[in-house]
Structure 1
Amino acid sequence: MKKSTSLSNILQLMIPEEKIRPILEELKYIDVARKFTVYDLLLFLGEAAFQQWDGYRDGEQRMSLCGQRAVDHSTLSKKAKDVPFALFKRLLDLMIGLCNRKTQRVLGIPKELLIVDSTTITVGLGRLSWAPHKGQKSGVKLHVGIIGDQGELHKVTETTGYEPDLKSCPDLLDSRFILVADRSYGKHKLFDSYQEQKKRQYFVIRLRDNTIFTHPIPRERNLPFEGSIEQDLTCQLGQKTTLTRNRFRVVILKDPQGNPVILATNLHWYSPEGIADIYKKRWQVEVFFRWIKQHLNIPRLFGSTPNAVYGQLYTALLIYVLLKFLFDQGNEIVHFSAKLTFADFDRLFTLQTLPPEWCVYLANATFFTSKN
């Protein structure tokens, strides 16, 4: 079975054409094309991400080999420019709902982590005049939330490269998880809102090194700190207009280079070592960004309009969710001797050299729809 054919078949089973029609109606988009429809564009962008095609011209030469309707590159470009990217964002949410493990917990203290961060995709200034970035570059941002212990994509939103991460943060929050984030999300007043909202948002967020601690009180501890932990205290953060209404816990440790890492949290029952371990899991989002950029064509933007750019990016993330689902489910089904790492699964799938058990598993496409 060829890699391209198997992925296209599975994508069509997971999201059949009839599922996009009501979304198009909501978006008030009328697809008048007969030769190359919106659904054809979805399949094209999916294969382009998976096989890392170079652009519309390259895809024009390859799409017929995948069983897709062959059209010229200008048709591809016009369609990508015309279809609202909100469709692909909705389809990503749909795929996440189909593939990710549902969180059953509604009440009680959350234990799973929601790691939030952003990545910027930059190109020359002339490519995206509507999205200036720095110097002679333009760019867009993807803001994502990853379920840390599972490595699953949970929420995504988009902005231009100049927009601060804090502006997108409310779109990514989910009180069912512990929010984990870096310094760019460490605005003191947000901590008050997390603490005071009806369903409290628990968090572990790194603070800037020059943060002021007001009325600090060290937490009592009978045993010496373990590892790189140096301080564990409670305080109000900031001063004057930036002073928080609530007291928060602050854990200070050293990184491997000896630099201070200052963590703010409202998890008062965890040990300081436990707080440090939670923050260390933030690296998983960096691994995610590196993976999608290396394997899903994220840095190579085909079009130059918001619809074309964000449509391509959201479809690439949709393919990531699908691949992660195929891998996770497959590793549960195949014999232990055939189990793979995600990296090996992607590599062998790309080379079309998966072990026989995996080929049988992927060929049994009805499995994916019956689970959902």
Structure 2
Amino acid sequence: MIRPSVCRLRIVYRHVDLCLSVFPWADFRTTKGAIKLHVGLNHAGYLPEFVTVTEGKNHDVIVGRTLAFPKESIVVIDKGYNDYTWYKQLTERGIFFVTRLKTNAKYRIVSRRPVLKGRGLICDQTIEFGGPQTAKKCPVQLRRIAYRDSETGKRYVFLTNNFKLAAKTIADIYKARWQVELFFKWIKQNLKIKSFVGTSKNAVMTQIWIALCMYLLLAFLKFQSKLQKSTQQILRLLQMNLFEKRDLMALLRGDPPGDKQPNINQNILL
């Protein structure tokens, strides 16, 4: 069992495409500019625990190596952060990771465990990496789990250093990574980070940080109000009443504008 205090993070990056002729400082490819938004979402509430913005050409794992996680955290890592040396370091520090195994990875099967094939599991193996370079970078034994999604029929191969959790739990942990995709989709659609007001590096960074701060404020407002409104509904409601002087909680509850009902929660928000 996982202790309630254990932190689960999902670390991913996303490119924010920029026109190289307009944003020459964001050099990424020959004719393309971009920056990378690295986000770690906490499993409890799927709120950003950390965010780092780098230039598009910076390698993803460089950011990953700088992060400090509590011992026994479970870190779900995008394939862009693949680094065998880092896997060894995380294991030595008592931090669990779940990621996708590279298709061209060379390894040796040490042992096999039985799996429930009716639950989509194909295999559950203990492996060691082969090849002189890879074996030197990551000399620890890891766990390889193959799983087929019953809905899409797609086959996934996971790599983890966690031998305690059930194989299906490992697959479910990685599957929950979809929440990160929903997070990026939400901020792109609702907080306008596809187009930028300014073209300087500082202007772009400022707009991104403002959008993320706005997301956290909306999440706090949703939690504090304890109402069954989505974050998007709260955002639309605030946009429609942006220049109205209203009691915030009364607005969220849908009270008439003239209703002056006192609400002590308003003081908490202020």
Same fold (TM over 0.5): yes
C-alpha contact (below 8 Å) 2:7/2:70 kept by paired residues: no
Per the alignment, residue 104 of structure 1 pairs with none
Could you tell me which amino acid in structure 2 is paired with residue 126 of structure 1?
S
Gaps of 5+ in 2: 242-250
1:346 aligns with 2:229: no
> Once the two structures are superposed, what CA deviation does each residue of 1:239-270 show, in whole Å capped at 9, x if it has no partner?
21012211011111124444431111122111
In 1: Cα distance, 2:176 partner to 2:256 partner: 30
SS at match of 1:344: helix
In the other structure, the counterpart of 2:166 is 271
SS in structure 2 of the partner of residue 315 of structure 1: helix
Q: Could you tell me the percent identity over the aligned residues?
A: 29
User: Which of 90, 95, 102 is matched with 1:194 structurally?
Assistant: 90
Secondary structure of 1:208 counterpart:
coil
Q: In terms of mean alpha carbon deviation, does 281-290 or 186-195 score higher?
A: 186-195
Q: In structure 2, what residue type is equivalent to 1:340?
A: K
Q: Measure how far apart 1:110 and its partner are.
A: 5.6
Aligned residues: 253
- Gap change, CA 1:232 and 1:109, over 3 Å in 2: farther
2:97 to 203, 206, 209: 203
Q: 2:254 aligns with which of 308, 332, 356?
A: 356
Shift of 1:354: 4.0
Letter matched to residue 188 of structure 1:
Y
Corresponding residue of 1:120: 15
- What is the alpha-carbon distance in structure 1 between the residues aligned to residue 33 and residue 253 of structure 2? 43
Contact kept, 8 Å, 2:106 with 2:131, in 1: the verdict is yes
What amino acid is aligned across from residue 368 of structure 1 in structure 2? Answer: L
2:196 partner SS: coil
- Which structure has more RCO (C-alpha within 8 Å, separation ≥ 6)? 1
Question: Which position in structure 2 is the counterpart of 1:72?
Answer: none
Mapped partners of 1:357, 1:192: distance in 2: 57
Contact 1:141 1:158 in 2 (8 A): yes
AA at the equivalent of 1:245: P
Q: TM-score of the superposition, structure 1-length normalised?
A: 0.62
Distance apart, 1:163 and its partner CA: 1.5
Tell me the alpha carbon deviations over residues 122-155 of structure 1, each in whole angstroms, 9 at most, x when there is no partner: 1211122121123422121110100123111100
Query: 3-state SS of the aligned residue for 1:146?
Result: strand
The 5 A counterparts of 1:1-372 are 111-175=6-70, 177-197=73-93, 200-219=94-113, 221=114, 224-243=116-135, 244-255=138-149, 256-331=151-226, 334=227, 339-352=228-241, 354-356=252-254, 365-368=266-269
Rate the CA distance shift 1:316–1:238 in 2: closer, same or farther, 3 A. farther
Ranges in structure 1 where 5+ consecutive residues have no aligned partner: 1-107
**Given the superposition, is the C-alpha separation of residues 362 and 239 from structure 1 closer, same or farther in structure 2, using an over 3 Å criterion?**
farther
Amino acid at match of 2:235: D
* TM-score normalized by the length of structure 2: 0.84
8 Å CA contact 1:330, 1:358 repeated in 2 = no
User: CA contact under 8 A between 1:188 and 1:238: conserved in structure 2?
Assistant: no
Question: Does the Cα contact within 8 Å between 1:228 and 1:254 map onto a contact in 2?
Answer: yes
User: How far, CA to CA, are the matches of 1:358 and 1:329 in structure 2?
Assistant: 21
2:247 aligns to what?
none
CA contact (8 A) 2:78 2:99 kept: yes
Structure 2: how far apart are the matches of 1:238 and 1:154?
35
RMSD between aligned residues:
2.6
Seen in structure 2, the aligned counterparts of structure 1 residues 109 and 148 have a Cα distance that, compared at 3 Å, is closer
Offset at residue 281 of structure 1 (A) = 0.7
Give me the whole-angstrom Cα distance separating, in 2, the residues matched to 1:363 and 1:151: 28
Instruction: Write the distance in 2 (CA, Å) between the matches of 1:228 and 1:250.
Output: 15
AA matched with 1:191 = Y
Query: CA offset at residue 329 of structure 1?
Result: 1.5
Q: Is the 8 A contact 2:18 2:35 kept in 1?
A: no
